[in-house]
Structure 1
C-alpha cells in the first residue's frame, strides 16, 4: 500500500552542549529511528573513535530502556505543530495540558489556539467582536457569557464614541 508520508518524517542535527564539539543526528523514517553521533575531540583517547549509529524499528526504539527519559519528543516539536495537535483536544484536556509546563501553559492560553476555537463556536464574528477579542484575548472571550460580551461591546463602543467626540 502506498503511503502519503515522505520517507523522512523528522530529522534534527545538533552539537552537544559546550565545551563538547560532538555532533548528533536523530532521523525518523517511516520504518525506523536512526541515531548517529560523531565524537570530535583533541584528546588522544578519542582520536580513534569512529562515528556511531543505532538503527531500530519504531517499536524497539520506544521500548529501549536506555532511551527512556532521555528524549522529550514533544519539546522538540515546533510551537506551530504543537498548536495544531492541541487544537484536536477537548477543552478539559487543554486545561490539563496547560498545567504540565510553562511552554504548554503559554500555548494553551495563546490567541493562536483560541481564535479558531471561538470562530468554530460562533456563527458570525463581527468586526467589533474581533476588536474586543484583540483587547481581551480570544480565550477570555470564549469563556465570557453572551450578556457580559454584549456589555463589553457596548462599553467599547461608548469609549470609542467619546474618544472621537473629544478629538473633534
Structure 2
C-alpha cells in the first residue's frame, strides 16, 4: 500500500497496538533513535526546549552522553545568543560550552579577569 500519515495523540498511540506494529514494520524492532548518527540527533535536539534537553539523560546512556557533549551546548549557546565574540568563544572552548552557558556570573568575572590580564600584558609590551 502507499505511504500515508496517521495523526494520533501520544495516548492514542500508546493504547493502539496496531500502531505499534506498523511502526515496528517500518523501523524494525530496534530503537530507531539509538541508531541515528550523532550530528542528526544534535540537529533534532536543537528544536527542543531546554527543559526537554535536561531530561535527555533519562532516555539512555547514549542520550546522556549527547546531552553533556560540548557540541550540543555549543549549538545551544549559538542559537540563543545574538553575538558571541571571539573572546567569549575562546573562553567557552577552554571551560566547556555547557559550563559556559550555565555559569553566567562566573563567565562575567572570568571575562573581566581575562581583559585585565590582557591589558596588563599589553601595557608591559608597550613599555
**TM-score when normalising by structure 2:** 0.67
More strand by share: 1
**What RMSD in Å do the two structures reach over aligned CA positions?**
3.0
Give the match's secondary structure for 1:113: helix
Number of matched pairs: 107
Asked whether 1:149 is paired with 2:121, we answer: no
Question: When you count helix as a share of all residues, which structure comes out higher?
Answer: 2
CA distance in 1 between counterparts of 2:45 and 2:82 reads 22
Structure 1 residue 97: Cα displacement: 0.9
Which of 62, 69, 74 is residue 23 of structure 2 equivalent to? 62
**Larger relative contact order (CA 8 Å, sep ≥ 6):** 2
Q: Deviations over 1:69-95 (max 9, x none)?
A: x31111111111111111111111111
**Alignment map for 1:12-161 (pairs within 5 Å):** 31=3, 60-62=21-23, 70-145=29-104, 147-158=105-116
Q: Greater Rg, structure 1 or structure 2?
A: 1
CA–CA distance in structure 1, aligned partners of residues 118 and 94 of structure 2: 13
SS state at 1:98 partner: helix
Unaligned runs of 5+ in 1: 1-29, 33-57
